[in-house]
Amino acid sequence: MSSETHEFQAEVKKLLDLMIHSLYSNKDVFLRELISNASDALDRLRFEGLTHADLLPEEELQVRLLADPEARTLSIEDNGIGMTRDELVENLGTIARSGTLEFLQSAEGAGDSSPELIGQFGVGFYACFMVAEEVSVLSRRAGEAGATLWKTDGSGEYTLEEAQRETPGTTIEMRLKPADAEDGLADYAQEWTLRQIVTRYSDFVAYPIRLTVMEKKEGDDLAQAETREDPLNSMKAIWTRPAAEVSEEEFKEFYTHITHDHEDPLLHFSTTLEGNFEARALLYLPSRAPMDLYHREMSHRGIQLYVRRVFIMDECRDLMPEYLRFVKGVVDAEDLSLNVSREMLQQDRQIQAIRNHLVKKVLESLKKMMDEDEEKYLGFWAGFGPVLKEGLLPFDAKKERILDLLYAPSTRDESQLTSLSAYVDRMPEDQDAIYYMTGPSREVLAGSPHLEAFADKGLEVLLFSDPVDEVWLEQMPPEYRDKKFQSVGRGEIDLGSKDEKEAEEGDREEEAYKDLIECLRNAVQGDVKEVRLSSRLKQSPSCLVVDEGDLSPQLEAMLRQAGQEVPERKPILELNPDHPILKRLQAIFEEDGTDARLSEYAELLLGQAVLAGGGQLTDPAAFTRKLSGLMEKAL
């Protein structure tokens, strides 16, 4: 029988070289690649068997691992479709897929500094050269009588010869490199090593993976094969089973398996994407916000990506937007290449389609929970609401759907949250904006002077105190059900329905207080942009207002904290014309426009307004001195 020698294609040589000298620490993935190939071969045979039943073997379709610790060999064997001689040349001597070339280039470009690229995304068959000195492939195509033996030491050439194989299928035999912990090379002929790798990477492969270890019995020279008949893998790809057939217990077990979270998940659901891009997903919401929710770099258990039941990566961030980063689960894509790299995922149209589908489904299931079990939803909202609200920042388009899910404290009933949609349902017909206020805490907001006129008119105001609220509401407030958001702490407030008499009175007040206001303005000039009469105050004498178009003080502080340069912004001081203090000041002013008390009171009114808004005084000592002086006089 003649043996022919062939040269590898130039790209394959490069790839082999990369594999042989790979610095990549996780060499275990070679087994995942070979098992995945075997599983594909079984899939294809099963498919052909649908029309050619005679091709199907009598034996169960399976993958066998054969390890010989003594001889340091490992074989992976399947009774799948097999390869003809030409197919061996075509498949294992050339690189057909463009993805591999791209991978090669990026791996080369990244150089040794980024060996993590290798192996993480699968380089297919060639990955076995990370662990083997010599590889032979014995394959017989289903439906054919002869077999072919393909063999190489990875040095640039391979040989082909005719051979025998009892039944169709493929056997890949590797002569293993010596184990070397420093180099990340485990002893791949040991049972526990193989068992571990299979459980980690191939647990959900749909065919049984069985292991046979050659053992030397004491006092007996004959090597005995010890077969473990139980498959190493659970084959429990529970996302491929109809949800109705999976028990709650199984769902929970699987959740714990992938997340290492031992609490029950809050919710799980399955979804299938059909059409051009096929995928199945099984998603979970945790019942409690994890510690690392706000430290993205640390979190690493999100959505697992599988391709045709083969594990690809643990946290596939491209499948879920940031604001849904708490969603856990599995996505199993049908048409994605195993070789896909993280860089490629970002642009992959299939990944985009799956992501859009998943986002839609997650938001829908949240809405369903909100409608059916509000208490449960509020539990979710307490932990994850601030993250969900990140989806309202300008870059995402699904704002209306997220606003559908929004809850906030409101002035209507301080003991409970209200949904935004319930707020809008309650709006009086002539109210054309959603009134809200942002601030450092719910307590500060609830006691804020800005709310007085609204309370007086029976208008409900939503109170937002998460840092993220400053950003989405203040920077680019969305509309919801055709209603604008209107901050009660910003700009001029016109609560409407002033009749002519009231309007006239307003003008008269304006005129009467004109000179006093001018005098008070001079006293606090350095700290405020303007002093004016207020239409939002009822009980309090003063409050601070953010000018239209200015940053809110909280947002300003956040930006400064983040190291950004923010231009100095001054607030507007509003005074209550109906308050006794103002009336008294007017009297003093009329008597003597230079009375020292006027400027002192201006500063006190300003300090009060700062404190009521939860802000900090620039000179607290001076403020308390003035206040004490005043108290003394009053006693």
* Residue with the CB atom nearest ligand ADP in the bound state: 124
* Of positions 22, 37, 534, 540, contacts ligand ADP by CB under 6 A: 37
* Of positions 16, 29, 38, 471, contacts ligand ADP by CB under 6 A: 38
User: Which residue, 87, 88, 95, 85, is CA-closest to 10?
Assistant: 95
Amino acid at 87: E
Contact range with ligand ADP by CB under 6 A, out of 32-40, 159-167, 385-393, 434-442: 32-40
By CB under 6 A, residue 41 contacts ligand ADP: yes
Q: Indicate if the alpha-carbon torsion angle 178, 180, 186, 191 is positive or negative.
A: positive
Quote the DSSP letter at residue 447: T
Q: How far apart are CB 124 and ligand ADP at their closest, in Å?
A: 3
Radius of gyration of the chain, Cα coordinates, nearest whole angstrom:
36
Quote the DSSP letter at residue 165: -
By CB under 6 A, residue 124 contacts ligand ADP: yes
By CB under 6 A, residue 28 contacts ligand ADP: no
Inter-residue contact 342 to 118 (CB < 8 Å)? no
Q: How far apart are CB 128 and ligand ADP at their closest, in Å?
A: 9
Q: How far apart are CB 46 and ligand ADP at their closest, in Å?
A: 13
By CB under 6 A, residue 259 contacts ligand ADP: no
Complex with ligand ADP: residue 78 or 318, whichever CB lies closer: 78
CA distances from 112 to 25, 109, 236 (A): 12, 9, 37
98-110 vs 10-20: helix crossing angle, rounded to 10: 50
Complex with ligand ADP: residue 87 or 466, whichever CB lies closer: 87
By CB under 6 A, residue 80 contacts ligand ADP: yes
Pairing of strands 63-68, 209-216: parallel
Complex with ligand ADP: residue 33 or 68, whichever CB lies closer: 33
Cα–Cα distance between 361 and 327 in angstroms, integer?
11
Within 157-176, the residues that bind ligand ADP by CB under 6 A are: 170
Contacts of 414 (CB under 8 A, 6+ apart): 446
Return the residue matching tokens 């180099």.
183
CA distances from 289 to 262, 362, 383 (A): 13, 16, 5
Cα–Cα distance between 633 and 635 in angstroms, integer?
6
Cα–Cα distance between 304 and 285 in angstroms, integer?
14
By CB under 6 A, residue 608 contacts ligand ADP: no
* Of positions 19, 83, 267, 281, contacts ligand ADP by CB under 6 A: 83
3-state secondary structure of 320: coil
Within 326-365, the residues that bind ligand ADP by CB under 6 A are: 338-339
Complex with ligand ADP: residue 38 or 267, whichever CB lies closer: 38
Q: How far apart are CB 122 and ligand ADP at their closest, in Å?
A: 7
Q: Give me the residues paired with residue 273 across strands.
A: 279
Contact range with ligand ADP by CB under 6 A, out of 21-29, 30-38, 239-247, 289-297: 30-38
Contact range with ligand ADP by CB under 6 A, out of 79-87, 328-336, 418-426, 491-499: 79-87
Contact range with ligand ADP by CB under 6 A, out of 31-39, 54-62, 104-112, 292-300: 31-39
Q: How far apart are CB 17 and ligand ADP at their closest, in Å?
A: 16
* Of positions 81, 351, 555, 602, contacts ligand ADP by CB under 6 A: 81
Q: How far apart are CB 2 and ligand ADP at their closest, in Å?
A: 24
Q: How far apart are CB 169 and ligand ADP at their closest, in Å?
A: 7
Q: How far apart are CB 127 and ligand ADP at their closest, in Å?
A: 8
Within 87-116, the residues that bind ligand ADP by CB under 6 A are: 91-92
Q: How far apart are CB 77 and ligand ADP at their closest, in Å?
A: 9
Complex with ligand ADP: residue 171 or 552, whichever CB lies closer: 171
Question: Residue count at the site for ligand ADP (CB under 6 A)?
Answer: 16
By CB under 6 A, residue 74 contacts ligand ADP: no
Q: How far apart are CB 15 and ligand ADP at their closest, in Å?
A: 9
- SS3 of 368-391: the string is HHHHHCHHHHHHHHHHHHHHHHHH
DSSP H or E segment with residue 46: helix 29-49
* Of positions 14, 125, 175, 538, contacts ligand ADP by CB under 6 A: 125
3-state secondary structure of 316: coil
Could you give the count of Cα atoms lying within 13 Å of 411 in the half-sphere of its Cβ? 25
* Interface characters, 570-589, with ligand ADP (x: CB under 6 A): --------------------
Inter-residue contact 604 to 596 (CB < 8 Å)? no
- SS3 of 565-615: the string is CCCCCCCEEEECCCCHHHHHHHHHHHHCCCCHHHHHHHHHHHHHHHHHCCC
By CB under 6 A, residue 78 contacts ligand ADP: yes
Q: How far apart are CB 567 and ligand ADP at their closest, in Å?
A: 56
500-524 vs 580-591: helix crossing angle, rounded to 10: 60
Residues in contact with ligand ADP by CB under 6 A are: 33, 37-38, 41, 78, 80-83, 91-92, 124-125, 170, 338-339
